[in-house]
Amino acid sequence: MGPVPPNGRPAPIPDISPAVSTLSVVIVTHGHADAIGAPLAALGRELREGDEVIVVDNASPDDTPAAVRAAYPAAQVIETGANLGFPAACNAGARRARGELLVFLNPDAVPQPGWREAIAAPYADGRGWGAWQALVTSEGGRLVNTRGGVVHFTGIAWAGGAGEPVAPAPPQDAAEPGFVSGACLAIPRAEFERLGGFPGEFFLYHEDVDLSLRVRLAGGRLGVAYEARVDHDYEFDKGPAKWRYLERNRWATLLRCYPGALLALLAPALLATELALVPVSLAGGWWRQKLAAWGDVARALPRLVRERRAVQARRAVSAGEFARALTPALDSPYLGAAARSRALGLALRAYWGAVLFLLRA
């Protein structure tokens, strides 16, 4: 049976095209009773017969599960009983899913008209992408939130194009993104299972970077379905605790995903980055979180080594091929003075050029 739309709207028109896959939309909530109605209403207008919505609630302190059931009666609601974190809850939703294509959607990201057809198109038309994202906008669709993530060779990652005006048409020569955003991330369910899903221990942040790099490591390509749009209520600054997750998970991603030859060549740069982040964290007031992140990584090292073996066993590309998707440029709007330093930019590009030469990328 197809999904029952919210608020008594007419049932979605069945689609009989054999080229169109079934979607399982997985949404993770934690205290989203006020926000969840908008994306569910949009999904009710977009989804087709055979699609499903799975909401995984991480022990919300409000009445989010009841709000979901009222807004979208056909949604499968998984109440975890504890706050598992975003990636572990996504994995729980994926285990319940039956659709050919998984779409992970943030609870404050609202699909726009035409989203369903556009997000499924890369799977249906055989583009060969291992994972992809929608064009994520903000401020009512006026600005870009992310048009594909950027990954610096030190593992620092950010949303590409953040704050830019939304272009009326997709670019004709769009480059492959460094990573695809978990705000609206699509991946064939079989591929997600083959890769082992999201790293559940991350709890928050960087899990989409890690998954994207594993897709590429296994020989897959990433993409952006520009015609599929979701409007995201996004705010970067969520308190000092965010930096602990970002920094520990950045290191976990480096240790899990980077080929050994690349890690060895980057060791001096990674050490220099850690030293440089000490005064930055002091000035920013998050030095305690930086110290805690170091402790987290040290305690997790035996597990990360085991996970690294499993991840690297699936590697199907050379270290040089993997490295080509990384960037030496620190041009994120979130990086302040570092992004504006001409001397630092020149030094990073020279260093990265030498690394690629040695890897024969």
CB–CB of 103/25 below 8 Å? yes
CB–CB of 255/214 below 8 Å? no
Q: To the nearest whole number, what is the mean pLDDT of the chain? A: 91
Say if residue 312 is exposed, middle or buried (CB neighbours under 10 Å; 0-12, 13-18, 19+): middle
Per residue in 38-81, pLDDT tens? 999 999 999 999 999 999 999 999 999 999 999 999 999 999 99
- Cα separation, 187 vs 50, whole angstroms: 17
- Cα separation, 333 vs 318, whole angstroms: 31
Q: Is the pLDDT of residue 347 over 80?
A: yes
Least confident of 95-99, 233-237, 296-300, 339-343: 233-237
Residue type, 167: A
- The upper half-sphere exposure of residue 190, i.e. CA atoms within 13 Å in the direction of its Cβ, equals 4
Per residue in 131-151, pLDDT tens? 999 999 999 999 999 999 999
- The upper half-sphere exposure of residue 288, i.e. CA atoms within 13 Å in the direction of its Cβ, equals 4
- Cα separation, 132 vs 218, whole angstroms: 15
Written as six digits, the tokens of 275 are: 């030293």
Q: How large is the average pLDDT for residues 248-259? A: 98
Per residue in 85-100, pLDDT tens? 999 999 999 999 999 9
Q: How large is the average pLDDT for residues 322-328? A: 95
Q: What is the pLDDT of residue 169?
A: 82
Among left, alpha and beta (phi > 0; psi -120 to 50; other), residue 140 is left
What beta strand segments (E) does the chain contain?
23-29, 52-57, 76-79, 101-105, 109-111, 129-138, 143-146, 149-151, 157-159, 184-188, 221-232
Cβ atoms within 10 Å of 69's Cβ, excluding its own = 14
pTM of the model: 0.92
- Cα separation, 84 vs 202, whole angstroms: 10
Nearest to 1 by CA among 70, 60, 52, 73: 52
Q: What is the pLDDT of residue 334?
A: 65
Domains and CATH numbers, the chain: 6-232 (3.90.550.10), 241-359 (no CATH)
CB–CB of 212/131 below 8 Å? yes
